[in-house]
Structure 1
Amino acid sequence: MTTAATTELRARAEQHLRALVGREDVTLYDDQWAAIEALVEARRRALVVQRTGWGKSAVYFVATLLLREQGAGPTVIISPLLALMRNQIAAAERAGIRAVTINSTNMEQWEETHAAIHRGEVDVLLVSPERLNNPGFRDEVLPRLAATCGLLVIDEAHCISDWGHDFRPDYRRIRTLLAELPDGIPVLATTATANQRVTDDVAEQLGADGTVLVLRGSLDRESLRLGVVRLKTAEQRLAWLSDHLAEQPGSGIVYCLTVAATQEVADYLRSRGHDVAAYSGQTEQTERLALEQQLIDGEVKALVATSALGMGFDASLGFVVNLGAPDSPVAYYQQVGRAGRGTNLGPDGAPVVLLPATEDRDIWAYFASLAFPREELVRETLAALADAGRPLSTPALEARVDLSRARMETMLKVLDVDGAVRRVKGGWESTGQEWTYDAERYRRVAEAREREQQAVLDYLGTDRCRMAFLREQLDDPDLAADPDWRCGRCDNCGGLDLASVVSEESVAAAAERIARPGVVIEPRKLWPTGLDAIGVGLSGRIRQPAEPGRAIARLTDLGHGPTLRQLFRAEPAPDAVPEHLARAMVTVLGDWRPAVDGIVVTESVTRPGLLEDLADGLSRYLHRPVLGRWVVRDPSVPPGRGATNSAQRVAAVNRRCALDVDDRVRGARVLLVDDVVVTGWSLTLAAAALHDAGAEAVLPVTLAVSG
């Protein structure tokens, strides 16, 4: 029953909403008010699953203002991306909310921020999830925030769940924070991308007693027009972009699956006169900020980006094109949600185009290989920490366990939340607590990922309404109530007519661009840390590194990448370099013009004929002799041993291989030949051995680079 106090509270809430959005004609949606009422009046916990652009941030900003008027402490928002933090602070300031942030880019401001919080001068504190696992923040700052905050907000809450498409182990720390909150502090979790399984999982973590208010709305995006264009070759897909990018309304995003592709596609589009720029997680922070603002301001036609420009990026964009399909419908829904959020798009809305490629599945398989490690590797890590009896840094652990740094960090964060390890100053330490490997859960998560990948393939070929397909994948309750619903806007509903014709000129230009071989092999400059712990006497700066080398292409490249992947997958391994790759190598050498006196070839157990043929061909073309080999002296060490971990790889190659060359190496400039660069450590150790043997310089050359 509505009371006078509730009516007055809603009226006050809508005053704040109008100040927030800068318009006098807006009112709260029913679900917005239901969430605000639950947080402010009942001090409950709520989960809001609503489409991008619905107004989830309005819920927590309005609730913040109402709670602050009642004397509550500041709101703490756990937010995953800096782009989102910047946008949210700007929105908060419009409504008179004093908002600050603590993240990795403003460490010099932390002390003053903490002081302002204590003085009551801060209404909203935005915190990155990584801060939750920082020892100083976790032990010194977080307990005070938990005791004094007026509202806790978890944005992009699907990250809590390992069923979610973007699970982040740092978010698992939130479960501990929730358990430590005093009674009566409301909690709001928000996301736009959660199916029923993820929704149930997050709601359970918010409150195991089942009292969480869950508000799920329609996930239809009325401003989006979805379509798929299926073209056979990478050249045709690039040509489609070149021919049709200018037709897209406003500014937008061209999503790619790999960092290498963003550079390659952006370079091609710029050569065709399009104003675009590449953007990825490897883009320097200052440049990322500038590129984001240029996109928001319409100063570029598009950013060619990885998913690093995704969750939390708040802008009104006219289109999204995906060059390659994400590995789940949920991830795709989130990416396309960057478009169509403004009111200035006109009646036609924002076109969203997917250009799938056959190699998408190879990329999915690669990212799937980075999942939680096998039990024996987890046990090795726990044993290494227990045996050390002191904190070990991640590099020190790399020397003991064959895992890449990224997978090691992710695993340790999960183990930290599970209570088996603890992050402290100086690294990680064992807690001695018993830990159970939940193999059944990891298996079910992997199976769920496989089903999601199949759903993406089904989306490409469906003749159903595409928006209905995506809504069904996200378990949209409104669609369940109206299963015959159709959007009327997608290509299958007749609302979007996408041309699949591309000009011969654009195809030829694309073919020329991506067929031009040549990738620089950057030399390693430093030995991995921790080698002394495993009996390898190498440390610090590499005294005489290799020169920058060359490869035909990366395995992920659009041009020669598919051919090289097929070559290295072939069973049995080929005994000769295919003619078109031999021609590509000649082109690379013609551009590079390496001045060398002789050739040294690495010995291969898996592809011996291929490497011998490559070395012989280079010898004939350059008129230089083969001076020796980097031979396998200990075949008991497997060829790929340690490939995911620098210290382990150096140790393995150091045991496995040795140099066998003649005296002509002394004083010579040597071309060092291998088939593929995976970690670069085999070439690095071979180059070091050649320098020790008297070589003046070492120039690596390979067919491919794996990255």
Structure 2
Amino acid sequence: MNEPLRSAADTVLGRLVGDDTGTARLREDQWRAIEALVSRRRRALVVQRTGWGKSAVYFVATALLREQGSGPTVIVSPLLALMRNQIEAARRAGIRAHTINSANTEEWDEVQAEVAAGDVDVLLVSPERLNNPDFRDGVLPKLAATTGLLVVDEAHCISDWGHDFRPDYRRLRTMLAELPPGTPVLATTATANARVTADIAEQLGTVAPDGERPDVEGALVLRGPLDRESLALSVLRLPDAAHRLAWLAEHLGALPGSGIIYTLTVAAAEEVAAFLRRRGYSVASYSGKTEDADRRAAEADLLANRVKALVATSALGMGFDKPDLGFVVHVGSPSSPIAYYQQVGRAGRGVEHAEVLLLPGREDEAIWRYFASLAFPAEDQVRRTLSVLAESERPMSLPALEARVELRRSRLETMLKVLDVDGAVRRVRGGWTATGRPWNYDAERYAWVARQREAEQQSMREYATSTVCRMEYLRLQLDDEQAAPCGRCDNCSGSRFPADVSGDALDAARSALGRAGIEVEPRRMWPTGMPAVGVDLKGRIPPGEQALTGRALGRLSDIGWGNRLRPLFADGAPDGDVPREVADAVVQVLADWAKGPGGWAGADPGAPPRPAGVVTIASHTRPRLIESLGEHIAEVGRIPVLGRVGYADGAGPERAARSNSAQRLRALHDVFTVPAELAHSLTTAGGPVLLVDDVVSTGWTLAVAARLLLCSGAEGVLPMVLAVES
């Protein structure tokens, strides 16, 4: 053993953890990794449980390498919250750390200048920076040439087989190959099974440009047991969403310390947080839609225990380090036991006991199916995208490309990133171009990944119903050969949580979930690139051709009305009259709308007058549902049904089945027509009309139909729909 180096490493560890007694000692595998990186300049993969101290490895190694004159450490880290935690930890150890990510663009030039001057010990980079043209071409080569240590944090993201594969991470393969010989590399993760571990280890030994392997010894793999001795796992199966909310309202205060309540969707996070606040709890919602400043405030409040919980989506999954986090509750089951292990690993890192509780819901599998639908696109869609890029004389932006292909923008962007790493396309200033290189659609690999996801979902179903040790079950899912019964979970030691809730809490929860009505904002801008596909619409939609702000009963993704509405729109669901409960709720939404801000029965100046009639929209899938809803509204509101926006001759359902805004509008712009009888009724109605439809997906059906009605003489259009898809 290199005793002087070990002594220096332990001294840095003491600074890092705030121990000035000189007794801080690295774990044996921590030291093995550090010694391999610093003394032998090797590549290493550390697979260890959350809270084990993986960050200590790269911070201690950084301090030692910098003392030897090495360049700065570059850490590729996936989430901003994690970066903020790591920067603070580095400062405690006397390590100067900075970050370049999407939230601090105004600081990039200053940070890069400090890196060049040698004033930065650690540079944390978000993975999406690796695919930014200016960063990739101007900054990344310099970093690769001067890096003293490259760290790939949450390294399972680099693997196609990982539960949280991210295409931006695949750019690391190029950077790994371009590092100068002898540059140490460290990859860390807590959630890698045997296959993912092998894949990452293989990638760490990437062949260099000259054909030589940069590490002739291969990657050092240090894999430890994944038991979390502080965590007590439980599952509580409750009858419905109202019972789950009521249970939280009555038992959240008894959970130790402060913690995280995970939900599967943004809508559910906002719904749960709002209910708990009304019941007197200090909580904050946290999701991918939360503004960065609000995220920072929420993180600070949780760190300081000013809130009982953050109600969060997976946006917080890998991005938060609070050693004394006392509990993690899931309102809804994640689709993967590996992802679940990672999320619950936020708790109990610095305390002896933390509670982990899963509250599965009947909506979980519908949400799993939705996210599964966002997998890598079919080959014909990929080929179409490549063809469009190849035919273009200049780079195409995402909005311009979206108008030519049948993919939503987020899915299109993810696909392009994968194609970029595969060499088929390239991101440049101004957009994307085709490289002309041959590219094969790896159908076998994509099918295998889909089967893997299905197997993970089945494993999660089994976890929720299993009678075996829950920690042992999760460890086996991660191929932990040392897995054994934990003695702490509800299956090992008995249930710790009662399932009963009081009538008062249940009534409050039912009232909250039964509260119907959300706003439906109208489309105000035409999608980019429509003239290029033969549709002469661009820019802002004139105010006189826009619908007014409408209403929907609820979102399909929430746990209140979403659970009641989803069966109406499920594949194979029969068409029929709108259920009485749903119809009555719509009437209540209309009544609240009329009396609320901007409603026709309120006192707001400029509010629209009372609707003078009802207009429905033709449907190939649910015509009776829509017609019966319109009839019910007309009967209760004592206004006439003026008619229906119908299909033009030759229009069929396949023409409107497009996925993104541009393609949806392209398909819809000439699909509908206003019959002459309806046009006459509009001009004599004496007020705006309620436009009734079943579900809002992109919003373009309402936009096109409203424009037709307004151009046909309607004084105004107020959309009223059953559900918003997202």
TM-score per shorter chain, which class?
Answer: over 0.9
Compared with structure 1, are the counterparts of its residues 198 and 635 closer, same or farther at alpha carbon in structure 2 (3 Å cutoff)? farther
Q: What is the percentage of aligned positions where both structures have the same residue?
A: 61
Say which SS state the counterpart of residue 656 (structure 2) adopts.
coil
What's 1:382 paired with?
A: 386
Compared with structure 1, are the counterparts of its residues 592 and 55 closer, same or farther at alpha carbon in structure 2 (3 Å cutoff)? same
- Give a deviation string over 1:171-215, Cα, whole Å, max 9, x none: 000001111111000000001111111111111111156710000
User: Residue 341 of structure 1: CA displacement?
Assistant: 1.1
Say which SS state the counterpart of residue 469 (structure 1) adopts.
helix
Equivalent residues in 2 for 1:507-522, closer than 5 Å: 507-522=506-521
Partners of 2:663 and 2:52 in 1: CA distance:
49
Match of 2:715 among 677, 692, 696: 696
Match of 1:48 among 34, 37, 46: 46
Match of 1:203 among 183, 201, 204: 201
Say which SS state the counterpart of residue 321 (structure 1) adopts.
strand
User: Residue 572 of structure 1: CA displacement?
Assistant: 5.8
**Contact 2:655 2:668 (8 Å CA) reproduced:** no
Match of 2:185 among 178, 184, 187: 187
- Give a deviation string over 1:380-434, Cα, whole Å, max 9, x none: 0000000012200010111100100000000000000000000000000010001
User: Residue 634 of structure 1: CA displacement?
Assistant: 4.5
Tell me, yes or no, if structure 1 residue 474 matches structure 2 residue 472.
no
Partners of 1:359 and 1:109 in 2: CA distance:
43
What's 1:241 paired with?
A: 248
What's 1:27 paired with?
A: 25
Match of 1:8 among 4, 8, 28: 4
Partners of 2:618 and 2:654 in 1: CA distance:
11
Tell me, yes or no, if structure 1 residue 299 matches structure 2 residue 323.
no
Equivalent residues in 2 for 1:447-486, closer than 5 Å: 447-479=451-483, 485-486=484-485
Partners of 2:525 and 2:182 in 1: CA distance:
53
The range that moved more, 328-337 or 618-627, is 618-627
**Contact 2:553 2:721 (8 Å CA) reproduced:** yes
The range that moved more, 562-571 or 16-25, is 562-571
**Contact 2:288 2:313 (8 Å CA) reproduced:** yes
**Contact 1:324 1:354 (8 Å CA) reproduced:** yes
- Give a deviation string over 1:647-679, Cα, whole Å, max 9, x none: 000010113222222323136311111011111
What's 1:632 paired with?
A: 647
User: Residue 505 of structure 1: CA displacement?
Assistant: 1.2
User: Residue 636 of structure 1: CA displacement?
Assistant: 4.5
Number of aligned residues: 694
The range that moved more, 525-534 or 692-701, is 692-701
Partners of 1:118 and 1:645 in 2: CA distance:
43
**Contact 2:173 2:203 (8 Å CA) reproduced:** yes
**Contact 1:402 1:642 (8 Å CA) reproduced:** no
Partners of 2:492 and 2:655 in 1: CA distance:
50
Residue identity in the other structure for 1:679: T
Residue identity in the other structure for 1:172: R
User: Residue 558 of structure 1: CA displacement?
Assistant: 1.7
**Contact 1:314 1:338 (8 Å CA) reproduced:** yes
Compared with structure 1, are the counterparts of its residues 201 and 66 closer, same or farther at alpha carbon in structure 2 (3 Å cutoff)? same
Match of 2:344 among 322, 336, 342: 336
**Contact 1:554 1:704 (8 Å CA) reproduced:** yes
**Contact 1:217 1:477 (8 Å CA) reproduced:** no
**Contact 2:283 2:311 (8 Å CA) reproduced:** yes
Partners of 2:715 and 2:587 in 1: CA distance:
24
Partners of 2:507 and 2:654 in 1: CA distance:
40
What's 2:210 paired with?
A: none
User: Residue 627 of structure 1: CA displacement?
Assistant: 2.2
What's 1:482 paired with?
A: none
Residue identity in the other structure for 1:653: L
**Contact 2:679 2:713 (8 Å CA) reproduced:** no
Equivalent residues in 2 for 1:48-447, closer than 5 Å: 48-208=46-206, 211-316=218-323, 317-342=325-350, 345-346=351-352, 349-447=353-451
- Give a deviation string over 1:208-238, Cα, whole Å, max 9, x none: 5671000001110011000000011111111
User: Residue 512 of structure 1: CA displacement?
Assistant: 1.0
Tell me, yes or no, if structure 1 residue 669 matches structure 2 residue 668.
no
The range that moved more, 379-388 or 537-546, is 537-546
User: Residue 357 of structure 1: CA displacement?
Assistant: 0.8
The range that moved more, 651-660 or 461-470, is 651-660
Partners of 2:625 and 2:317 in 1: CA distance:
42
Say which SS state the counterpart of residue 477 (structure 1) adopts.
coil
Partners of 1:470 and 1:646 in 2: CA distance:
41
What's 1:492 paired with?
A: 491
- Give a deviation string over 1:456-508, Cα, whole Å, max 9, x none: 000011111110000000111322xxxxx211110011165121111111111
Partners of 2:572 and 2:192 in 1: CA distance:
41
Partners of 2:142 and 2:102 in 1: CA distance:
20
**Contact 2:163 2:338 (8 Å CA) reproduced:** yes
Equivalent residues in 2 for 1:597-636, closer than 5 Å: 597-636=612-651
User: Residue 616 of structure 1: CA displacement?
Assistant: 1.2
Equivalent residues in 2 for 1:553-572, closer than 5 Å: 553-569=554-570, 571=572
What's 2:588 paired with?
A: 587
**Contact 1:465 1:486 (8 Å CA) reproduced:** yes
**Unaligned stretches of 5+ residues in structure 1:** 480-484
Say which SS state the counterpart of residue 306 (structure 2) adopts.
coil
User: Residue 569 of structure 1: CA displacement?
Assistant: 2.3
User: Residue 367 of structure 1: CA displacement?
Assistant: 0.2
- Give a deviation string over 1:596-644, Cα, whole Å, max 9, x none: 1112110111111111111111111112222232211145542573542
Give the RMSD, CA atoms, in angstroms.
1.3
**Contact 2:395 2:431 (8 Å CA) reproduced:** yes
What's 2:527 paired with?
A: 528
What's 1:686 paired with?
A: 705
Residue identity in the other structure for 2:296: L
Partners of 2:671 and 2:24 in 1: CA distance:
70
What's 2:577 paired with?
A: 576
Say which SS state the counterpart of residue 537 (structure 1) adopts.
coil
Partners of 1:358 and 1:640 in 2: CA distance:
33
- Give a deviation string over 1:328-368, Cα, whole Å, max 9, x none: 001100110111012xx45xx00100000121000000000
User: Residue 13 of structure 1: CA displacement?
Assistant: 0.6
Normalization by structure 2: what TM-score?
Answer: 0.94
- Give a deviation string over 1:532-558, Cα, whole Å, max 9, x none: 111111111111221111111111222
User: Residue 560 of structure 1: CA displacement?
Assistant: 2.2
**Contact 1:602 1:672 (8 Å CA) reproduced:** yes
Partners of 1:216 and 1:127 in 2: CA distance:
25
Partners of 2:47 and 2:319 in 1: CA distance:
15
User: Residue 443 of structure 1: CA displacement?
Assistant: 0.4
What's 1:548 paired with?
A: 549
**Unaligned stretches of 5+ residues in structure 2:** 207-212, 595-599, 601-609
**Contact 1:643 1:679 (8 Å CA) reproduced:** no
Partners of 2:312 and 2:522 in 1: CA distance:
27
Partners of 2:666 and 2:49 in 1: CA distance:
50
Residue identity in the other structure for 1:336: V
The range that moved more, 653-662 or 381-390, is 653-662
Partners of 1:195 and 1:240 in 2: CA distance:
34
Partners of 1:46 and 1:539 in 2: CA distance:
53
User: Residue 112 of structure 1: CA displacement?
Assistant: 1.7
Compared with structure 1, are the counterparts of its residues 572 and 92 closer, same or farther at alpha carbon in structure 2 (3 Å cutoff)? closer
**Contact 2:47 2:190 (8 Å CA) reproduced:** yes
